[in-house]
Amino acid sequence: DYDWLRQMFLIVLDNAVKFSPPGAAVELSLTEKTVSIRDHGCGIAEEDLPHIFDRFYKVKSEENKSGSGLGLAIARQIADRHNVAVSVTSRLGEGTEFRFQF
Protein backbone atom coordinates (compact mmCIF):
# COMPACT_ATOMS: atom_id res chain seq x y z
CA ASP A 1 0.00 0.00 0.00
CA TYR A 2 1.78 3.09 -1.30
CA ASP A 3 0.28 5.54 1.21
CA TRP A 4 1.26 3.47 4.25
CA LEU A 5 4.77 2.76 3.00
CA ARG A 6 5.19 6.45 2.19
CA GLN A 7 4.15 7.29 5.75
CA MET A 8 6.66 4.78 7.16
CA PHE A 9 9.52 6.37 5.23
CA LEU A 10 8.41 9.92 6.08
CA ILE A 11 8.44 9.14 9.80
CA VAL A 12 12.04 7.90 9.64
CA LEU A 13 13.15 10.72 7.33
CA ASP A 14 11.56 13.29 9.64
CA ASN A 15 13.46 11.82 12.59
CA ALA A 16 16.71 11.79 10.60
CA VAL A 17 16.35 15.50 9.90
CA LYS A 18 15.16 16.31 13.43
CA PHE A 19 18.10 14.60 15.13
CA SER A 20 20.78 15.91 12.75
CA PRO A 21 22.59 19.22 13.07
CA PRO A 22 21.53 21.99 10.66
CA GLY A 23 23.01 21.44 7.22
CA ALA A 24 23.94 17.80 7.87
CA ALA A 25 23.29 15.28 5.13
CA VAL A 26 20.67 12.56 5.33
CA GLU A 27 21.55 9.72 2.98
CA LEU A 28 19.09 7.44 1.24
CA SER A 29 20.16 4.38 -0.65
CA LEU A 30 18.38 1.64 -2.50
CA THR A 31 19.88 -1.72 -3.29
CA GLU A 32 18.11 -4.70 -4.73
CA LYS A 33 15.49 -5.05 -1.97
CA THR A 34 16.77 -2.76 0.78
CA VAL A 35 16.09 0.90 1.47
CA SER A 36 18.52 2.57 3.85
CA ILE A 37 18.11 5.95 5.58
CA ARG A 38 21.22 7.23 7.37
CA ASP A 39 21.76 10.43 9.27
CA HIS A 40 24.89 11.93 10.79
CA GLY A 41 23.18 13.21 13.91
CA CYS A 42 23.44 12.60 17.62
CA GLY A 43 22.84 8.84 17.45
CA ILE A 44 20.90 6.61 19.82
CA ALA A 45 22.40 5.19 23.00
CA GLU A 46 22.81 1.41 23.04
CA GLU A 47 20.50 1.08 26.05
CA ASP A 48 17.72 2.97 24.20
CA LEU A 49 17.88 0.99 20.93
CA PRO A 50 15.74 -1.97 22.13
CA HIS A 51 12.93 0.46 23.04
CA ILE A 52 12.77 2.92 20.14
CA PHE A 53 9.82 1.11 18.54
CA ASP A 54 7.82 1.00 21.79
CA ARG A 55 4.73 3.20 21.89
CA PHE A 56 5.30 6.46 23.80
CA TYR A 57 9.01 5.74 24.34
CA LYS A 58 11.04 8.91 24.02
CA VAL A 59 14.74 9.46 24.44
CA LYS A 60 15.12 12.44 26.71
CA SER A 61 16.87 15.11 24.64
CA GLU A 62 16.38 18.67 23.49
CA GLU A 63 15.62 17.51 19.93
CA ASN A 64 12.90 15.15 21.17
CA LYS A 65 11.04 17.44 23.55
CA SER A 66 8.09 17.92 21.18
CA GLY A 67 7.69 14.31 20.00
CA SER A 68 4.86 12.06 21.10
CA GLY A 69 6.83 8.81 21.10
CA LEU A 70 4.50 7.25 18.53
CA GLY A 71 6.31 7.80 15.22
CA LEU A 72 8.67 4.84 15.21
CA ALA A 73 6.01 2.58 16.74
CA ILE A 74 3.73 3.45 13.81
CA ALA A 75 6.56 2.95 11.30
CA ARG A 76 7.30 -0.51 12.75
CA GLN A 77 3.62 -1.45 12.65
CA ILE A 78 3.40 -0.44 8.97
CA ALA A 79 6.56 -2.41 8.19
CA ASP A 80 5.23 -5.48 9.99
CA ARG A 81 1.93 -5.35 8.11
CA HIS A 82 3.81 -5.20 4.80
CA ASN A 83 6.34 -7.94 5.68
CA VAL A 84 9.22 -5.45 5.69
CA ALA A 85 12.08 -6.26 8.07
CA VAL A 86 13.44 -3.19 9.88
CA SER A 87 16.87 -3.00 11.47
CA VAL A 88 18.68 -0.12 13.12
CA THR A 89 22.31 0.61 13.88
CA SER A 90 23.46 3.68 15.73
CA ARG A 91 26.49 5.20 17.40
CA LEU A 92 26.36 8.15 19.74
CA GLY A 93 27.77 11.24 18.10
CA GLU A 94 27.98 9.56 14.69
CA GLY A 95 24.42 8.94 13.56
CA THR A 96 21.80 6.30 12.93
CA GLU A 97 20.88 4.04 10.02
CA PHE A 98 17.48 2.42 9.45
CA ARG A 99 17.33 -0.43 6.92
CA PHE A 100 14.09 -1.69 5.39
CA GLN A 101 14.43 -5.12 3.79
CA PHE A 102 11.66 -5.97 1.34
C-beta separation of 98 from 85 below 8 A:
no
How much of the chain exceeds pLDDT 70, in percent? 87
Name the band, by pLDDT with cuts 50, 70 and 90, for residue 66. Answer: low
Q: Tell me the pLDDT band of 63, cut-offs 50, 70 and 90.
A: low
pLDDT at position 57 over 70: no
Q: What's this model's pTM, rounded to 2 decimal places?
A: 0.87
Mean pLDDT of 62-83: 83
Beta-carbon-side half-sphere exposure of residue 67 (alpha carbons within 13 Å): 22
Q: How wide is the angle at C-alpha 61 spanned by C-alphas 21 and 16, nearest 5°?
A: 40
Return the SS3 of 86. strand
With vertex at residue 19, the alpha carbon angle to CA 37 and CA 63, rounded to the nearest 5 degrees, is: 155
Mean pLDDT across the stretch 54-65? 65
Would the pLDDT of 23 be above 60? yes
